Amino acid sequence: MELKVVCQCGQKFKFDAEPVNGQMPFAVNCPVCNANGTAAANALIAAQLAAAPPVAPPPPIAPAGGGLRISRHAPEPPAAGAPPPLSAVGSGSTPPPISALRPSVPDKKSKPKVEGEFSLVRGIIGAVLGAGVGCGLLFAFWLWAHFRFPLMGVAVGAAAGYGARWLARGTDSTLGIITAVIAGASVTGTFVLMYGGFALFNIISIVFCTGVAYRASSE
């Protein structure tokens, strides 16, 4: 309840209070002259309580006659296409688990694709051996034909990739990256050895070489 008291000195002040038995629960003093304003506050409480409308009592609860009654509604018919309730399945049967209702999705990130006992170290050794064999064949072909074929590095990439895959007994994305680096470095060194330098058209051969090496040893 909000009360606004006017002191004898002319000061007005207001405050909130919850009356107890129609009286102030604490003493009130003027903030200016420190005069006691409890009597004026009690008069305001009495005036507000007298002006407030009376509260009607709640209606009485009628006693229930004839004992307890329970209303039962007829069960609604199941919608078309809805599954039968569990009670219709049988008391001895149990519903299947939720995991059995979900279709199995193969994990696309399952790596490595193991064909046997996978070994990354053996795969790197196979990549080095395959790249060496491929570069040897590339250099021998150049000595025999003296012909600059732009895609000659593809053979080196294939030899390195399948050599890594064969010795590793499987494939792996890490093995594919390492094999691609070995094949690309081997082809670059072989081109420098054959031509005495590095030409721009050799970039095409190196790109194809690393791509073939990666796909052969990682997929």
The answer to whether 38 and 27 are in contact (CB under 8 A) is yes
Mean pLDDT is lowest, of 65-74, 82-91, 158-167, for 82-91
Nearest Cα residue to 184 out of 126, 122, 131, 120: 131
Question: What does pLDDT average to over the chain?
Answer: 75
Task: Choose from 41-45, 101-105, 175-179 the range with maximum mean pLDDT.
Answer: 175-179
pLDDT value at residue 10:
81
Q: pLDDT grade, residue 203 (50/70/90)? A: confident
The overall pTM is greater than 0.85: no
pLDDT value at residue 110:
46
pLDDT value at residue 178:
92
**What's the distance, Cα to Cα, between the start and end of the chain in Å?**
81
| pLDDT tens-place string over residues 2-17 | 778 788 888 887 878 7
How many other CB atoms are there within 10 angstroms of residue 61's CB atom? Answer: 6
**Number of residues that this document lists for the chain:** 219
Task: Choose from 20-29, 51-60, 101-110, 126-135 the range with maximum mean pLDDT.
Answer: 126-135
Q: What is the mean pLDDT of residues 195-210?
A: 75
Q: pLDDT grade, residue 89 (50/70/90)? A: very low
Two tokens, residue 66: 């004839």
- pLDDT top residue among 153 and 71: 153
The answer to whether 44 and 5 are in contact (CB under 8 A) is yes
